[in-house]
């Protein structure tokens, strides 16, 4: 009887872990793209060389 009641809890734990993993992967890919202009400014890259970000 306890196996049936534990199943929904473990299912939500799996969904939560996938959601957190997806958030981390997407954030780590898109965050640097949003910061490219700030990174270029820190290295004194001219606007013409940084492809108009």
Q: What is the pLDDT of residues 1-53, one digit of tens each?
A: 455 555 677 789 999 999 999 999 999 998 888 888 888 888 888 776 666 55
pLDDT score, position 4: 57
Contact 53, 36 (CB under 8 A): yes
Residue with tokens 């990174």: 39
Q: What does the alpha-carbon distance between residue 33 and residue 40 come to, in Å, rounded to a whole number?
A: 11
Contact 37, 23 (CB under 8 A): no
């Amino acid at each position: 009887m306890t196996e049936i009641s534990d199943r929904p809890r473990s299912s939500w734990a799996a969904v939560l872990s996938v959601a957190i993993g997806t958030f981390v992967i997407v954030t780590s890919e898109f965050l640097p793209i949003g910061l490219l202009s700030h990174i270029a400014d820190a290295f004194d890259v001219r606007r013409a060389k940084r492809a108009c970000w």
